[in-house]
Amino acid sequence: MKLLLSVFFLFMFGMLQGQTAFINRPSKTQSATVLEKGVLQMESTYEIEILGEPDERETEILFPGIMIRYGLGWGVELRFANQYETLKDNLGSVDGFTDMEIGTEIQLFKRNDKKAEVALMSHLFLPTGSDGISNERIGNETLVLVWHEITEKIGIEYNIGYSNFEDDSKKGDFVYSFVTEYEINDLSGVFVETYGYLIELNELEASIDLGFAYQFTDNFELDLAFGTGINHKMLFATIGLSWRIGEEED
């Protein structure tokens, strides 16, 4: 299955030379820019995350991670996501597909000069995943997404929201992220990002990462990021590819 997905992505890359530019895709923060009507964007990631002390270490690998976005017009886009996940600890490992995510992003505000944008994103998690991987219950994450251009080379983007799974014994989590992006030139940029969760609205788990993004063409982009926990033991690295089909207005 992973081989078939990889072949599919390489095939799509071969089709997509010379389309339109798009915003960098930082590692955790979701973009406030809603795709225009008829535009299809695909994102694929490889991510590894290592949690805990060496004697109690847990490793999570996501490959491939897939996000598909499609612009319906009227400031609305549809979103679909799924990953193939491998979990390892001192007792063994388990792998399989995660729960399916379906959702939408709706534009709430956009300045005419595109220097500020606000959107609302909501994802529904369906318990379709493999045994040992699935949460086995329905979940939801809803975020407010905000983008500001500070200068021609510096922009900030942040998300705030709430995530919860169908479980009467849990309050859910407050979710946040904040990223600052700096454009080195027309093809590349760097970013630094902090993100985290207020678990069950009580315990803060905060992390930070930094990364680099490079556009090979106007519609095909690579980004790399490395991060660590601020108040918990965690290391992660991710490689992402993003590409589009369709025309965006200038």
Domain coordinates in residue numbering, the chain: 2-245
In the three-class reduction of DSSP (H, G, I as helix; E, B as strand; rest coil), residue 210 is classed as strand
Residue 10's pLDDT band (cuts 50, 70, 90): very low
Sign of CA dihedral 87, 92, 95, 99: negative
In sequence order, the 6+-apart residues with CB closer than 8 A to the CB of 167 are: 137
At 8, the pLDDT band (50, 70, 90 cuts) reads very low
Distances (CA, A) of 7 to 17, 66, 105: 17, 14, 29
Q: Which fold has domain 2-245?
A: Porin (2.40.160)
DSSP 39: -
Report the range of poorest mean pLDDT among 29-38, 67-76, 192-201, 239-248.
Answer: 239-248
**DSSP-assigned states of every residue in 110-129:** E-TTSSEEEEEEEEEEES-S
pLDDT in tens, 160-200: 999 998 775 678 999 999 999 999 998 999 999 999 999 99
pLDDT digits 0-9 by tens, 195-217: 999 999 999 999 999 999 999 98
CA distances from 102 to 12, 28, 116, 155 (A): 22, 17, 26, 28
The listed range with the strongest mean pLDDT (4-8, 21-25, 185-189) is 185-189
CA distances from 215 to 24, 115, 126, 155, 240 (A): 9, 21, 33, 17, 12
Q: Rounded to an integer, what distance in angstroms lies between the CA atom of residue 51 and that of residue 59?
A: 6
87's tokens: 């979990």
CB distance 195 to 177 below 8 Å: yes
Q: d(Cα 224, Cα 28) in Å, to the nearest integer?
A: 12
Confidence check: pLDDT of 93 > 60: yes
Identify the CA nearest to 205 among candidates 230, 237, 170.
Answer: 230
Average pLDDT value for residue range 80-89: 96
**Residue 64 preceded by cis peptide, ω within 30:** yes
User: Positive or negative CA dihedral for 141, 241, 23, 26?
Assistant: positive
Residue 193 vs residues 105, 196, 212, 226: alpha-carbon distances, Å: 22, 10, 11, 10
On whether the pTM is more than 0.85, the answer is: yes
C-alpha distance from residue 54 to each of 57, 93, 209 (Å): 5, 16, 21
The proportion of the chain whose per-residue pLDDT surpasses 90, expressed as a percent, equals: 76
Give the Å distances, CA to CA, from 93 to 60, 85, 88, 129, 132. 10, 11, 4, 16, 10
